[in-house]
Structure 1
Amino acid sequence: MNLAPRQHDILNLARERGYVSIDELAQAFAVTPQTIRRDINQLAEHGLLRRTHGGAACEASSIQNTAYGMRAGQMREEKQRIAEAVAAQIPDHASLFINIGTTTEAIARELQNHRGLKIITNNLHVAAQLSAKADFEVLVAGGTVRSDGGIVGQAAVDFIQQFKVDYAIVGISGIDEDGSLLDFDYQEVRVSQAIIDNARQVFLAADSSKFGRNAVVRLGSIALVDRVFTDSAPSAAITRLLHSHKVQLDLV
């Protein structure tokens, strides 16, 4: 494919950041959003980018996740809005699970203004953020520690299964068009399944780049959660699925 200079630049930005939005590209190149959509469509048709709601993501492997440092920098503003919305729904003196993910870490930062929370987590970054609060009780699962601060393995599953909490705050790597929640690490998925099974209310925090993203391990259906917090409306098929299973959709 012979790429126009602007398309080269769009592709390079997507590779550098992992995700780019139509609005920011239109502003950066001083063109209309419609022009950017045409560029993205052409790049996607040749397998160079993956279209998402409101933007495009660098086409990545379905068996290996993006590096933690890159994930932490992607969709920062969207994750912050999601974090604020989720935190606003958590009352003081609640018990909650928080799993692995950069979005759940953003939520943990927003929870620092709460009082009397009891947090059970398999995310060392979350534990470090919240343990500084004197009136919080933070319990950390045992197991194998990954380079991104996640804790996985059977010991972590066994630990989680000892509790029944008010809320689970979970992130995910991808959401298929059929509503499947997808991730890359089988051991991480086992822990997340235990978290979902042992919470009274399950909040899924997923920015719009996660919709349509592929990953190899299936956690379960999006119907398992009670509320989905995201920054852009998902596809019609996902929206119908949420409606049919009475899953509340929170757009932020």
Structure 2
Amino acid sequence: MKLNNRQQELLNHLQREGSSTIEALAAMFEVTPQTIRRDVLLMEEHQRLSRYHGGVRLPGGLENLAHSTRQTLLSAEKQAIAAQAAQHIPNRSTIFINMGTTAEAVASALRQHRGLRVITNSLHVAAVMCDFPQAEVIIAGGVVRPRDRGITGEAAIDLIQKFKVDFAVIGISSIDLDGTLRGYDHREIRVTQAVMAQSHQVLLVADRSKIGRPALVRLGHISEIDALFTDAPLPASMNGLFAAGKPAVHIANFAATTPTTPPVSTRRAGKER
């Protein structure tokens, strides 16, 4: 389904806010409620959103949105997050990059880096980076998940455990207000846990829609992360989670995203975990 500008903005709004009424959406877009209802009916038919009495929301929290839908939602914000995360990674680093559209954006933002060695369980990330002039890309073996071309399974974990890298760049489906990190697929979660265990620094990239979003499977806790890159201030109720300075929180300015230059340092970055 190809969305028009209003329909895309409607989806972006729901990604940020979770739900809305038909009347509020009509006022926001300065159209009649009937126009919004037509948009909603069409988008529900293509499983982009769900209706409830008097309102509309994204599909339920027990499963993730389709990859193609996630690619279009908050895309400018994801690019800004990716640009800032890429600045944190020096040339000649070794990196894990896992599945997810924000992690894919980081892969694209690393185009100007030199001497990278990248291990990934995402065919999308591999496709982005395989043509980079000075990057070696290693793909984890395993079962390919058709809906987003991510690779999971014991073979992927076995390969990951053979490496120790400078950085892990991971995306996430949900960050609870108590700091719990969550996802939808336990097989994907197991691979990400292996990635985190084999990395000197773990960089979490997550746009604001992931805060408080419901998801079923526990990955870990925000305290296991070294740096969080996001696009909006976190809720005040979460301030206590960051009182000790870990993870460091970096808020990207998506209104002024520019190409980034990698850090000058070429030494291996990070600390022993």
Normalising by structure 2, report the TM-score. 0.74
- The residue number in structure 1 matching 2:244 is 244
Counterpart-to-counterpart distance in 2, 1:141 and 1:211:
29
- The residue number in structure 2 matching 1:208 is 208
- The residue number in structure 1 matching 2:64 is 65
- The residue number in structure 2 matching 1:181 is 181
Cα-to-partner distance string for 1:188-210 (whole Å, 9 max, x where unaligned) = 00000011111001100000000
Q: 1:125 to 1:104 in 2, by over 3 A?
A: same
1:74-85 to 2 correspondences below 5 Å: 74-85=73-84
Cα-to-partner distance string for 1:181-233 (whole Å, 9 max, x where unaligned) = 11000000000001111100110000000001011000000111000000011
Counterpart-to-counterpart distance in 2, 1:187 and 1:213:
20
Give ranges in structure 1 of 5+ residues lacking alignment. 1-9, 31-45, 50-57
Cα-to-partner distance string for 1:137-170 (whole Å, 9 max, x where unaligned) = 1100000001211000111111111111000000
Counterpart-to-counterpart distance in 2, 1:47 and 1:243:
41
Answer whether contact 1:18 1:70 (CA < 8 A) is retained. no
Answer whether contact 2:12 2:74 (CA < 8 A) is retained. no
Cα-to-partner distance string for 1:44-77 (whole Å, 9 max, x where unaligned) = xx8956xxxxxxxx34323211111101100011
Q: 1:18 to 1:68 in 2, by over 3 A?
A: farther
- The residue number in structure 1 matching 2:112 is 113
SS, match of residue 92 in structure 2: coil
Detail structure 1 runs of 4+ shifted over 3 Å in the superposition: 10-18, 25-30, 46-49
SS, match of residue 204 in structure 1: strand
Counterpart-to-counterpart distance in 2, 1:141 and 1:124:
9
Counterpart-to-counterpart distance in 2, 1:76 and 1:127:
20
- The residue number in structure 1 matching 2:123 is 124
- The residue number in structure 1 matching 2:261 is none
Amino acid at match of 1:19: Q
Answer whether contact 2:121 2:151 (CA < 8 A) is retained. yes
Offset, 1:12:
9.5
Answer whether contact 2:16 2:208 (CA < 8 A) is retained. no
SS, match of residue 111 in structure 2: helix
Counterpart-to-counterpart distance in 2, 1:81 and 1:13:
18
Task: Tell me the C-alpha RMSD between the 2 structures.
Answer: 2.7
Answer whether contact 2:184 2:217 (CA < 8 A) is retained. yes
- The residue number in structure 2 matching 1:52 is none
Cα-to-partner distance string for 1:14-40 (whole Å, 9 max, x where unaligned) = 45875257xxx899647xxxxxxxxxx
Counterpart-to-counterpart distance in 2, 1:145 and 1:105:
16
Amino acid at match of 1:157: I
Answer whether contact 2:16 2:209 (CA < 8 A) is retained. no
Q: 1:250 to 1:157 in 2, by over 3 A?
A: same
SS, match of residue 169 in structure 2: strand
Give ranges in structure 2 of 5+ residues lacking alignment. 1-5, 18-24, 31-52, 253-273
Offset, 1:239:
2.6
- The residue number in structure 2 matching 1:88 is 87
- The residue number in structure 1 matching 2:15 is 19
Counterpart-to-counterpart distance in 1, 2:86 and 2:54:
37
- The residue number in structure 2 matching 1:141 is 140
RCO comparison, higher one (Cα < 8 Å, 6+): 2
Answer whether contact 1:141 1:159 (CA < 8 A) is retained. yes
